[in-house]
Amino acid sequence: MADKSSPEETTNGKSTSPSDVSEETAKKAEELKTIANNYFKEDASKALELDRSYIKVEYLRVCCLYRQGIIYPGNASQNAMQNGQIALHFTKMYIAEGYYRRATANLALGKFKIALKDYEMVVKYRPNDKDAKAKYTECNKIVKQQAFERAIRVEDTKKNIADTLDIASMVIDEKYAGPKLTEGKVTRNFAETLLEHFHSENKLDKKYVYQILLQINKLFRTLPTLCDITIPDKAKFTVCGDIHGQFYDLYNIFKLNGLPSEENPYLFNGDFVDRGSFSVEVILTLFCFKLLYPNHFFLSRGNHESETMNQMYGFFGEVRSKYTTQMAELFTEVYNWLPLAHLINKKVLVMHGGLFSSDDVTLEDIRKVDRNRQPPDSGIMCELLWSDPQPQAGRSPSKRGVGIQFGPDITQKFLDHNDLEYVIRSHEVKSDGYEIAHNGKCITVFSAPNYCDTMGNKGAIINMTSDLKPNFVTYEAVEGCTIESTTSETDLSEKKDLVVISCQNTVDWYFEDTLDFFFRAKTDPFGLPAHSWMSDSQRGGSA
């Protein structure tokens, strides 16, 4: 990374003046961008690598053009004016990306008012960006809703919805012809019938949904934060990654790998909901199998099992549309009790996100985490849900704005410190549905093929026996009902030249570097003071 104190310095440490940035450099940037776009559908990871190269070259070019415009403020030549105009264009473009990145991070942390201010700036600089407008609109709704709730709140202690429901008074719709609970309990027949019921695009009666939620809530409350799993000799065990509301792909997993049973146990590693249009069907199916096989079917919390993410990425809206707002809030209560990690045969740790900002974290530390809450913005719980691996050694700030990125040396230290063999995590889309990193010690599994109906990736699951050797099963997406996604995001295919966003890896750090540079410069190419386009927080005021 270039030294932020000197925008003229390249990654090789050599000085670069504006005259060094030739048309050849600009042409190279465009070539990299074009190649990345061509790779987009075939290999997202390759496209991401090329996009970063394009951004890096363009960043150098923009900084130099900008510097040329402000070093010679008295130069009235047409060349200087043209360079100033180009620099202003790129200034707005990259500033918008910087604001977008920070807004996305604050949004994930539930800091809606701060995120809203940044989305305002994105919309200002990109008035035709549909995605930015959608995010601004949704965030603005949440801010207003929270303000309204504060205004009408009459008591400080909010009662749990689970404690206020009167199931006995609920009446099943007389037109309902779907599966029925037996004496209020989930049976094997109910679970199998429910799968087919959902596959035929039918709803489960509201009373049965509430009964399932109350029962699963009671069960989760009895579980530890870190659950121990034992795979008997020669027995099969399956680990699945993100599903994200793709019910028809979940149905396909069970078709390929068999329905859950005591002889065919599963662990689903978080992010069951959001983005896909059938999150309700996915989560109810998983909850039913957990109730049916509590010791052979396991569920781990992901970063999308949270109120903030559900409000922004579709699940709350889906539940309200199919059932009620009260039910959406009850789901939040249930998610708070989901376990955060699982330990297989005392040797393989499975969590949704990744490892930690400290080298001294132990399994016992994980067991002690009080998980009955919304995810915090730091600490063990946050990092279990949000962190990502990186190829280089050491740690670095997360591009998501939450959690950290950890290298192979960090993984090895954690394994040695806790006498483990390797870790399994999810949280990131992979072109083949899985990725083996950190010398085989960090495995990512992602089970939602053709993610968001745009990525073209395969899905994958991991099968293993008591020897703990991972065997990967990959599959393509299947066709299902084509209902418009409930997510507030626009079609991610419109962002082909920003694969970072499409893959939920957000914006590359080069944008932030550029933003920092412009803030330090104090003026734009035409001499406007920086405070005319800086937010309150960047001027030192309150956000």
Spatial CB neighbours of 518, under 8 Å, sequence gap ≥ 6: 66, 91, 94, 95, 524, 530
Cα–Cα distance measured from residue 194 to residue 110, given in angstroms and rounded to the nearest whole number = 34
Burial (CB count within 10 angstroms: exposed 0-12, middle 13-18, buried 19+), residue 543 = middle
Longest dimension (CA), the chain: 85
Comparing CA positions, the residue from 2, 28, 26 lying closest to residue 15 is 2
Residue 477 identity: A
Strand 388-389 relative to strand 404-406, pairing: parallel
**What would the two tokens of residue 132 be?**
């930015």
Is 304 catalytic? The answer is: yes
Q: What are phi and psi of 61, to 5 degrees?
A: -65, -45
SS3 category, 294:
coil
In DSSP terms, 267 is beta-bridged to 239, 298
Cα–Cα distance measured from residue 510 to residue 32, given in angstroms and rounded to the nearest whole number = 16
Catalytic residue of the set 89, 197, 199, 304:
304
- The position carrying tokens 């045969």 is 345
Cα–Cα distance measured from residue 540 to residue 38, given in angstroms and rounded to the nearest whole number = 43
> Left if phi > 0, otherwise alpha if psi is -120 to 50, otherwise beta: which for 408?
alpha
Q: Which positions are annotated as active-site residues?
A: 304
